Amino acid sequence: MANLREEEALLAIKGFLGAGVPPAELLSACQKGMRLVGAMHEKGKYYIAGLIMAGEIMRQAVDLLRPAMVTGGDGKTFGRVLLGTIEGDIHDIGKNLFRDLLECHGFKVLDLGVDVPPAEFIAAQSDFKPHLVAASALITDSFAHLRELVQLFEDAARSRQERRPFILIGGGQVDERIFRMSGADQWGEDAFSGIHICQKLLRESRPKRGSGKQGAFIPNS
């Protein structure tokens, strides 16, 4: 994976699966490879083309591993995630990787695509009923829409007198400052940390309003 040798990586995954290696272990190994690619990019050893290629290898690896991943003996999903790249931004490499990882970990995902207005997230909420909303943003000009997204969900929850879903944000330029500005519940440095955050959020109890974090509830299906 880290050497960007697509054919070798995929053949190795097939071989390990056939040998009975748990798919979760293989996924973890792939994640480590992706982190190495990211580190090499930061050091200037890989350019953006390398990141794109690694993302494509990871996508194919997830496709191989997904059928073997256990989502629960009762067939229920871990939770529902409404996903999209926020308005003003068309980047989708990280979003797509996050989507694939979510599905591999047993989440049901509705991907709205890129350049998604906050109101479109709200519109999709009625039928999909997400437990979490995940918004990606890489361009600084799109950050204001993250705050708008959170506010719209707050308003919708207040008008319906119900709890709003958790809101997670991420993207290459998102940091603690942007997270605080947005009013979201959590932020992830990358797709892999985002998975752990989603799992953690759905296991936590709901704290009081205004504490900076939104609580969670365990999904019924």
Per-residue confidence at 109, pLDDT binned at 50, 70, 90? very high
* pLDDT exceeds cutoff 50 at 50: yes
CATH 3.40.50.280 occupies which residues in the chain? 79-201
Distances (CA, A) of 191 to 5, 117, 120, 212: 21, 22, 23, 22
152 compared with 40, residue with greater pLDDT: 152
Give pLDDT, residue 208.
Answer: 39
What is the average pLDDT value for the chain, to the nearest integer? 85
C-alpha distances out from residue 144 to 25, 175, 217, Å: 39, 14, 28
Lowest mean pLDDT among 37-46, 82-91, 126-135: 37-46
Tokens 């591999």 belong to residue: 104
The Cα–Cα gap between 207 and 54 comes to: 39
Per residue in 201-213, pLDDT (tens digit) is 988 744 333 344 4
Q: Does residue 183 have a pLDDT over 90? A: yes
pLDDT at residue 143, rounded to an integer: 92
Q: Per the CATH hierarchy, to which homologous superfamily does domain 79-201 belong?
A: Cobalamin-binding domain (3.40.50.280)
Q: Where in the chain is the domain with CATH 1.10.1240?
A: 6-68
11, pLDDT greater than 80: yes
Sequence-ordered strand ranges (E) for the chain: 79-85, 107-111, 132-136, 166-170, 186-188
Pick from 114, 89, 97, 96: nearest CA to 178: 89
Residue range 53-107, pLDDT digits in tens: 888 898 899 888 888 775 444 456 789 999 999 999 998 888 988 998 898 888 9
- CATH of 6-68, picked from 1.10.1240, 1.10.3470, 1.10.10, 3.30.2130, is 1.10.1240
- Tens digit of each residue's pLDDT (9 = 90 or more) over 142-178: 999 999 999 999 999 999 888 999 999 998 789 999 9
| Predicted structure pTM score | 0.74
Instruction: Take residue 206 and report the two structure tokens written for it.
Output: 């709901």
**What SS3 class is residue 66?**
helix
Q: What is the pLDDT of residue 157?
A: 93
